[in-house]
Structure 1
Amino acid sequence: MHRALPTMPRLLPHLRRLPWLLAALSLLLLLAFAQYLRLFERGWFFVQEWRHAAEWRARSLWLPDYRVEIEAQAVEGLDDDISALTFDPERRSLFTVTNANPEVLELSLDGRLLRRIALRGFGDPEAIEYIAPGLYVISDERDQRLFKVRIDDATTRLDAADSQQLALGIGRNGNKGFEGLAYDRAGQRLFVAKERDPLRIYEIRGFPHVDAGQPLAVQVSDDPQRDARLFVRDLSSLQYDPRSGHLLALSDESRLIIELDTTGRPVSSLSLRAGRHGLRQSVPQAEGIALDDAGNLYLVSEPNLFYRFARPAD
């Protein structure tokens, strides 16, 4: 026997509930997407940033004060995308890396290409960090390997085989490894950013090894509680500010730079979206940040775009 199909009067109550069910499902999806983007934590932070502006401005870099001076200026003479950025106070210049055809590049403070240094055996170089006069660290993203290198006026090529190396291999998952570096010279701490899955900031002591008379002793630590407060989807670069002791964290996907105080608490931010901080257009894919000794903030973005932000003169 065949069952009789429900009649229209019996279906009407279910049909009347359908719009409410669809609305509830849409709301749940919207809330899930907002949580994925960390919009609730981000919104709450902006409220806190506004409430504590007078207090926090006095003892921080205070990123809301920064305004763009050079916007989306193409770095001429490059075919490969650049990644990461660091400031050399002795040379008064910036250094960055490329990974498709691995090179170290030196840039002027207004974004001009000054020279190129070939890299051999570095695999997937993703970041470079100034440590001391002539001394730098380069990171390999996929292998999670750090290289200590020396660069002077005569350097035209760097070979990984000649470098002091440190391999960590923490939570390796392909192209989501070491994206950013920052160095605290006074505390001799190297900060390493893992891009995502999970997003982490590691603190390394003992590398690079600078005292040949002492045994190599490396300590690696992290702070998952601090990292959980980072309301961003990924990490692209780091920068340590020696004047305040604060750390800057750059997120490409969230288009945001966050300033963290000495306890790891977010205290200020700089949005990389159009209409904020004088930007006419959003920064397309931010890859590296650097601070000079005057507090100017430099940024590079794919495809080979250069930015400079500064605070207004008092």
Structure 2
Amino acid sequence: MRRLVRPKPLFLLLLAIVLITLITAGQYLRLFERAWFNMSSLWHPVNEQAIALDQYQVALEAQVIEGLDDDVSALTFDPIRKTLFTVTNKNSELIELSLDGKILRRIALVGFGDSEAVEFISENIYVITDERQQRLIKIHLDDDTRFLDATEAEQISLGVHMSSNKGFEGLAYDSLGKRLFVAKERDPMLIYEVHGFPHHNLEKSYAVHVVNNPKRDAGLFVRDLSSLQYDERSGHLMALSDESRLIIELDINGRPLSTLSLSKGRHGLQKTVPQAEGLAMDDDGNLYVVSEPNLFYVFKKQQP
């Protein structure tokens, strides 16, 4: 009768190393939380107010933004002009795009530093971020504006977690609640709510209040934050993660509701979206994504 062969110590050591590596990688990439969300969503009832990102399919994929060589960062929809705006962070420019990704005009940004995000606030009013100095800069944009000088603009510096080199990467605005959401990329990954900027009522004193929501931030099972989008119809916030290749929808309590994967083979994508940096939604619920250096995507909701 043959005796059972005991596993060799070296094999057990290698097996332990592999298991530890897999567990560490899973925690680093937030794979366990993501897998749990995917499983739990199978038996949870669908939220009637949800944006339902899982029902979106790509309608325009990886279209090159012709005439643009610099890296684009961030995206916002202007419901008055019915156009999109993005910023470049090398040769700083504010660029207006059509809804099919064509350049309509380019506006030079002077003194804006490392501009990483832009957000529509109201007619002709936007906010642009300076990532490294953590500045929020309010700008006024007319149809004939050709350049903007930061020294002439209303601005504030939040000065939070200044020791980290990962600064402000995304903006979203709630016009009803007068809240400006500001995303810190990571280390730590946070979403701030800024109240009182931009200043709307000149008859009232200038007061800025900054808060964050640890519970909501803990529900973000992504590695970083690249862009934000607030949907006033549902009151839900969408967050774009470049490293996790994911768009996640959060309800008003910070609970994840749905996701849109930016990986090859998902939602009709032929290739993975490389380094997604900007997210916007128009009045019809269509989603627009830009990725570095200069690719443009459109996602549209399909009827279930």
Which TM-score tier does this pair reach, normalised by the shorter chain?
A: over 0.9
Distance 1:306 1:173 in 2: 33
Please point out which of 32, 39, 51 is paired with 1:47: 39
Distance 2:72 2:189 in 1: 22
* Distance apart, 1:14 and its partner CA: 11
Indicate the residue corresponding to 2:194 in structure 1. 204
Does residue 1:34 correspond to 2:26, yes or no? yes
Does residue 1:243 correspond to 2:229, yes or no? no
Check whether the contact 2:164–2:187 (CA below 8 A) recurs between aligned residues: no
* Distance apart, 1:313 and its partner CA: 4.7
Distance 2:83 2:7 in 1: 68
Distance 1:174 1:196 in 2: 9
* Distance apart, 1:16 and its partner CA: 2.6
Check whether the contact 1:97–1:127 (CA below 8 A) recurs between aligned residues: yes
Indicate the residue corresponding to 2:17 in structure 1. 25
Distance 2:8 2:271 in 1: 46
Check whether the contact 1:142–1:174 (CA below 8 A) recurs between aligned residues: no
Structure 1 stretches of 5 or more lacking a match? 1-12
Distance 1:292 1:204 in 2: 23
Does residue 1:151 correspond to 2:141, yes or no? yes
Q: Secondary structure at the match of 1:40?
A: helix
Moved more, 211-220 or 133-142: 211-220
Check whether the contact 1:80–1:100 (CA below 8 A) recurs between aligned residues: yes
Aligned residue identity for 1:97: V
Check whether the contact 1:177–1:195 (CA below 8 A) recurs between aligned residues: yes
Segments ≥4 residues shifted beyond 4 Å: none
Structure index of larger Rg: 1
Q: Secondary structure at the match of 1:136?
A: strand
Q: Secondary structure at the match of 1:51?
A: coil
Q: TM-score, normalised by structure 1?
A: 0.93
Distance 2:107 2:163 in 1: 29
Does residue 1:233 correspond to 2:223, yes or no? yes
Does residue 1:122 correspond to 2:83, yes or no? no
Structure number with higher helix proportion:
1
Check whether the contact 2:55–2:303 (CA below 8 A) recurs between aligned residues: no
The total of aligned residue pairs comes to 300
Indicate the residue corresponding to 1:8 in structure 2. none
Distance 1:59 1:210 in 2: 30
Moved more, 85-94 or 304-313: 304-313
Aligned residue identity for 2:70: D
Distance 2:186 2:292 in 1: 19
> What CA RMSD, in Å, does the superposition of the two structures yield over aligned residues?
1.4
Q: TM-score, normalised by structure 2?
A: 0.96
* Distance apart, 1:94 and its partner CA: 0.1
Alpha-carbon deviations, 1:176-233, whole Å to 9, x = none?
1000000000110000000000000000100000211111011100011221121100
Indicate the residue corresponding to 1:296 in structure 2. 286
Distance 2:83 2:68 in 1: 18
Aligned residue identity for 2:104: L
Q: Secondary structure at the match of 1:240?
A: strand
Check whether the contact 1:245–1:261 (CA below 8 A) recurs between aligned residues: yes
* Distance apart, 1:15 and its partner CA: 9.3
Q: Secondary structure at the match of 1:25?
A: helix
Alpha-carbon deviations, 1:30-60, whole Å to 9, x = none?
11111111110000011122222x522x221
Q: Secondary structure at the match of 2:42?
A: helix
Distance 1:189 1:131 in 2: 10
Indicate the residue corresponding to 1:286 in structure 2. 276
Please point out which of 280, 297, 301 is paired with 1:307: 297
Aligned 1:6-17 pairs, distance under 5 A: 16-17=8-9
Indicate the residue corresponding to 1:100 in structure 2. 90
Change (3 A) 1:15 1:296: closer
* Distance apart, 1:21 and its partner CA: 1.5
Please point out which of 54, 65, 76 is paired with 1:64: 54
Distance 2:156 2:297 in 1: 32
